[in-house]
Structure 1
Amino acid sequence: MMKTFAELLQRVASGPRFRVCIAAAEDPAILAAARMAQAHGFIHPVLVGNDGRLRELCAEVGLGRYSVLPCEAPEECAAVAVRAVRSGDADVLMKGTINTSTYLRAILNKEYGLRSGALLSALAVYEVREYHKLIFCSDSGMNTAPGLEQKAGILHNALQAMQRLGFARPKVAALTANEMVDPKVPATVDAEALARMAAAGETLPCILEGPIAFDVAFDRAAAEHKHIASEISGDVDLILAPNIETGNALGKSWLTLNKARWAGVILGTTHPVVLGSRSDSAEVKVNSIALACLLARAAG
């Protein structure tokens, strides 16, 4: 089981190089991250964008051994990148200097996109110094207020990804404000339903508990104080957030106050997808590329 991003990078570097296709790659920070990932030995960059500008920027950041798929307009760059991944000319898709809506439209295109039939969801992974292993969290970036059916889809995507990464039976916390099921609080009702589904074998293998509050999920003393018998308390692998605000605020609190490291990918597509933000550090970009490449290796 990987406990740090250093272990994740070591693991992905032990395998083959993956062709990472970057849509609208004319950005020094993105190209610097590609150079770092290349130095670790696990990617061959496939850059989509203006040929002359890309070669100029690659020289500036010291990126060598790359391929270029020349195009100009953002919509064209998104389409070319997605088609390259869909056709097998690349293994992983990554967003460059392109609007997120344009990027997602290409991914969801019915003719050439990366639709799998599953719900798209975001999976974030955090390395928090105060915790003994990586924490997975979904969904903190795609589905704003998921209902039970969507939460089941989000759970399936996350468990499938974790299975590919070697988690045989992840411990999952269906997070809520407390452990009481209250019809007036839909998150608690959904959490109880998901726990029943997992116990009945209606999900991929996992140990899912919910409704469960954060303190009980991560502090065994809190569980004992509340007289809650828990198999996951203090050892959670995956947080299933009740809504986007909870997942987003939780992650950003770790990043801001705990100086956590993190990575993120989009799930539910035929190939691994890195969305990311231009404000992400080079380290975050490299971690996200590495995570996507590991998922691509397992899928292949």
Structure 2
Amino acid sequence: MDSGKKWDVELLPKPILSAWPSSVVPTRGNVTLNFPGSFYFHLIELEENDAGYYTCDCYEPDDLDVLFQYSDAVLLLVTGHLPKPSLQSHQWSKVTGGNVTLSCQKPDNMTEYRMFMLLKEGVPSPVQVQSSESNRADFSLHNVTDKDAGNYSCVYHQKEAPFWASHPSDHLEILVSGSPRALSECYTKINLIRLEMSAMFVVLMAVFLAEAWYSQRVSSSRSSSEEAEEELESDGRHQMILQGGNQKEGPMRGTISAAFMASAPCWLKTSLCGGFKVTHAHNSSPIAL
């Protein structure tokens, strides 16, 4: 090989390394580092000592004249070593645009941890990274649109190795008026109210029908009882009359109602009296034996 030969090296664009689902993962969590060209590396059951900066490069072993640059470093944080901070909004969690400031507050005794990260659910990289000498970092979202709606959290961590990081803060949901998410939540609440009103209406109708059915049943039972009593009384009266007419012996022999006999027709008097003799059909005088 001629030592005086000049080598022409082609330098390819810098590759992009990304982490999925997020570069901030909990202890014992998993992450995938993606490299362009369908290359990826799985890191599983991460511990605190796995935190740090990761880079990648690529080369062609059969063609040394083609080189890739190193990718930008990705900081991988494993959370859970420090107490969680709090995240608050200076405005209402439901905004209509403009700017929104989110404040991440760490405990007072954590003065040596000065790096803060603002995270958004579903976004693999931190939304913002900030260094602060105080116990609080303010993150500003400018010209908020529906794309900014979602659940946010924050962490604080060491600036250098071993990169200890806190637990994530509780989620803070940001809603943007007019966004599909806000409209969907509004429709959901309206539908829930409609369902509750429908359920109340059904319950009231059921109570009303039950009360009407019970009242009708009580009324019907009462009417049947009264009719039965009237029938018993009527049967009792008829038995007393017939018993007076058919009785042959005893102290009540030949006794019959004078009023009844006065109003009864002659043929009925004759048939009822049996052994009695009626002298005149319209005679109202006492009946003689």
Asked whether the two chains share a fold, i.e. TM above 0.5, the reply is no
Compare the two structures and name the one with the higher helix fraction. 1
TM class by shorter chain equals: under 0.3
Larger Rg: 2
Q: What is the TM-score of this pair, normalised by structure 2?
A: 0.18
- Quick one: higher RCO (CA 8 Å, sep 6+), 1 or 2? 1
Q: What is the TM-score of this pair, normalised by structure 1?
A: 0.18
